[in-house]
Structure 1
Amino acid sequence: MTLRLDALRHWIAAQHHLSPEACRLETVAGDASLRGYCRVTFPDGATRIVMDAPPALEDSRPFVTIGREWREAGLPVPRLHAVDLESGFIELDDLGNDSLHHHFETESGARQGTSQALALLDEVERLAPVAPLPHYTADFLEEEMDRFPDWGLTRWLEIGTPPQWPEVKRHLLAHIARLPTVAVHRDFDAMNLMIHRERLWIIDFQGALAGPLGYDLISLLRGRYHHWSRQEMDLWIEDFRQRCLAAGRIDADLDAETFRAGVEAIGAQRQLKILGQFCRLFLRDGKPRYLDWLPHFYGHLDEGLTALPALGDFHRWLRESYRPAMEARLAEHHANLDRGASS
């Protein structure tokens, strides 16, 4: 790590014709990937963010391509000031530390923040180029869902996959297929929306794909930082449908019930992926903090499945089998941590 930081310091200093000693580095919060981030302060007090993405571990080409295309399209993404894909260093605008999720602590803050984020989502769907993006194929959606039985059930809980699993996937994919294709960020979460110069900015866009309308909507509404009631969710989803109708992004024959079912199917797909992926982050990558989010995202899945009554058997299995097993294993995990801390 020290060698990597030294290399980063020398690289950013060279970009600005400074000595390495003149650049002060501060590590800033990372994410679920293998990327790291440093804030660099220059002698004049100006700051930049440097992304550290070792090329053997992370392919930064999508980040660079999408970042440049979205900025050229007029979207609020950080400027890429210098790119060295061979070394894995990218110099970016510093958007500060004020991410939108900090404002979700109150009901009024969550409501205002969600409204602001949805206005920005309108911009993304209107301006982001779709054609250059890889497609979010049915096979990829299914592969993501299969992380739930693979990592969340078999490897972490050591329980079997319910027999209705193939039908669950078919049902969700059929609903999702009815929605039009747009550019989707794929992690349109309040953590990835920064407040800077009195507006929202988008970060972590490297995973963007051409995918189903509503994916980013449900990522925001069923994200990490707020839980909306069923009635409130229905209002948000219908308001979004009306905005899409007015903008010509969907046809009038996509009625409210069909649209809601499609959006909640995307949500279920995403939450199943997360329930498996967070176990993978623990088991494979040694990141145990993600386990603590499992009950939260299970709660989102439980709520969302109320809009998909055909999956009632699977919904009951989740409540009667998965949830108790998940809660018991989490309790065991925390007990082991406590014993380790006290020994």
Structure 2
Amino acid sequence: MSKHSAFPPRIEHVLDAIPGVSLTKLRGDVSTRQFFRLQFADSQEAQEFLHTCSEAAELAQDFAGLDKPQERSLIAMLLPENGSARASRLIVDVGRYIQSCGVPVPKTYLAIHQMGFLVIEDLGDTRLIDLIEQAGLRNAMDIYRAAIEYLVRMQFPSAEVPRDCTAYSYSFSADRFLWELNRFTELFSRIVLKRKLSQSEQSIIDRDFRAICSEMMSQELLFTHRDYHSRNLMIKNGRPCVIDFQDARLGPILYDIASLIFDPYVALGRDDQQELFDHYFSLLVARSRNDLRRLGLNRALCVCTIQRCLKAAGTYLSVVGLRRNSELVRYLPRALANALQAARRSAGLVGLGNMLAHWLDAANEFLKAHQS
């Protein structure tokens, strides 16, 4: 069997004809996409590979980047067969929009949509979370500030940036937010609590979750990355580069900033979170067309934080249920702790806060048992 058998047959044959190419499968998180690092003898061989792939596809070339790779290393992305053509187009389309906002994304060198096959720029292996683990949080604060500036650029693009991006055709909804919260609740009760919810717990969920989702959808709806956190910011040449943006859509103005500064993957202190939100707020005031009330924004940030962190907790638990990449479950307590802090800062959510405090204890006990 060819060592390139994971690829579509025509691409496999192209790779088989390049004797010196090195292939390394990269580890993903919970994505069903597959990523491979292809290393060639030099950038010229990498360019020839792209040209030959396009010819071998026997299709009209769906997309070719204006830039030619200057490095000998490329990243090949394979999308799952179901819906791969649509997903491929979304990656190209949303990436083009983000780049037009002046925000770095990996360059797309080739996309053959019908195969679900893309070749993109190799950004290396250092994510924001890796930088923090290696160099400490103090050395990552400038990256956070840059990421916040990028976020505001995407939310409030300049007049010359076209609004024809596919992301503007889709929107979050209160029903979608509620579904994510209910999914978390079902998984948490089954996997962690190992019991059905009590009547009082169900009453709190029915009341407070609906209120949270309704409040979120009352915010101004802007371009939303949907997964803007430390694992989706790569560091190249000392600056962040945004990845994993294919699910972008219209969403609450504070959704992405909540995702970034209340990210369960990173233990940001309260002072750091406040400093970063202050930075975001100052940029927002300069860009937004609306009269912003800081008190209202604090409440809006809290409801986004609760929903976003519990949604993330549901993702970690779903991975546990599928018995893959279970190391993500170690972030479960921090996700609940962030949601708990936000609930305690929100009037009218005392019952939810008390429930989450008990659930946080259960999550810590579950993690101990899971790691033993």
- With the length of structure 1 as denominator, give the TM-score of the two structures: 0.86
* Partner in structure 2 of residue 340 of structure 1: none
* 3-state DSSP of counterpart to 2:109: strand
Q: Does 1:123 align with 2:161?
A: no
* Partner in structure 2 of residue 135 of structure 1: 171
- How far off its partner does 1:8 sit? 2.5
Alignment of 1:131-210 (within 5 A): 132-133=166-167, 134-161=170-197, 162=201, 163-210=203-250
* 3-state DSSP of counterpart to 2:23: strand
- How far off its partner does 1:80 sit? 1.7
Q: Does 1:92 align with 2:129?
A: no
Residues 4, 285 of structure 1: alpha-carbon distance in 2 compared, 3 angstrom cutoff: farther
Measure the CA separation in 2 of the matches of 1:130 and 1:172.
Answer: 30
Q: Does 1:37 align with 2:35?
A: yes
* Partner in structure 2 of residue 108 of structure 1: 138
Measure the CA separation in 2 of the matches of 1:261 and 1:233.
Answer: 15
* Partner in structure 2 of residue 328 of structure 1: 365
User: Sequence identity, in percent?
Assistant: 23
- How far off its partner does 1:265 sit? 0.7
* Partner in structure 2 of residue 319 of structure 1: 357
Alignment of 1:264-303 (within 5 A): 264-284=302-322, 286-303=324-341
* Partner in structure 1 of residue 59 of structure 2: none
Q: Does 1:308 align with 2:346?
A: yes
Measure the CA separation in 2 of the matches of 1:268 and 1:109.
Answer: 28
Aligned partners of 2:74 and 2:121 also within 8 Å: yes
Q: Which moved more, 1:281-290 or 1:5-14?
A: 5-14
Count of aligned pairs between the two proteins? 330
Measure the CA separation in 2 of the matches of 1:261 and 1:138.
Answer: 17
Measure the CA separation in 2 of the matches of 1:174 and 1:312.
Answer: 18
- How far off its partner does 1:288 sit? 1.6
Residues 215, 130 of structure 1: alpha-carbon distance in 2 compared, 3 angstrom cutoff: farther
* 3-state DSSP of counterpart to 1:98: coil
Residues 150, 20 of structure 1: alpha-carbon distance in 2 compared, 3 angstrom cutoff: farther
* 3-state DSSP of counterpart to 2:156: helix
Amino acid at match of 2:143: G
Q: Deviations over 1:206-251 (max 9, x none)?
A: 11111111111111101144333444433432432232121125x2
- How far off its partner does 1:13 sit? 6.9
Residues 308, 11 of structure 1: alpha-carbon distance in 2 compared, 3 angstrom cutoff: farther
- How far off its partner does 1:10 sit? 6.4
Measure the CA separation in 1 of the matches of 2:20 and 2:11.
Answer: 10
The structure 2 residue matched to 1:53, chosen from 46, 64, 79, is 79
Measure the CA separation in 2 of the matches of 1:96 and 1:9.
Answer: 25
Q: Which moved more, 1:197-206 or 1:326-335?
A: 326-335
Measure the CA separation in 2 of the matches of 1:50 and 1:286.
Answer: 23
- How far off its partner does 1:297 sit? 1.2
Measure the CA separation in 2 of the matches of 1:73 and 1:244.
Answer: 16
Amino acid at match of 1:132: T
Alignment of 1:19-34 (within 5 A): 19-34=17-32
Q: Which moved more, 1:20-29 or 1:291-300?
A: 20-29
Amino acid at match of 1:153: S
- How far off its partner does 1:73 sit? 4.7
- How far off its partner does 1:195 sit? 2.0
* 3-state DSSP of counterpart to 2:274: helix
- With the length of structure 2 as denominator, give the TM-score of the two structures: 0.80
- How far off its partner does 1:155 sit? 4.4
Residues 5, 301 of structure 1: alpha-carbon distance in 2 compared, 3 angstrom cutoff: farther
For structure 2, the residue ranges without an aligned partner over 5 or more in a row are 44-71
- How far off its partner does 1:9 sit? 8.4
- How far off its partner does 1:41 sit? 0.8
Measure the CA separation in 2 of the matches of 1:230 and 1:221.
Answer: 10
* 3-state DSSP of counterpart to 1:104: helix
Residues 231, 61 of structure 1: alpha-carbon distance in 2 compared, 3 angstrom cutoff: same
Q: Which moved more, 1:135-144 or 1:152-161?
A: 152-161
Residues 69, 247 of structure 1: alpha-carbon distance in 2 compared, 3 angstrom cutoff: closer
Measure the CA separation in 1 of the matches of 2:277 and 2:79.
Answer: 36
Alignment of 1:205-220 (within 5 A): 205-220=245-260
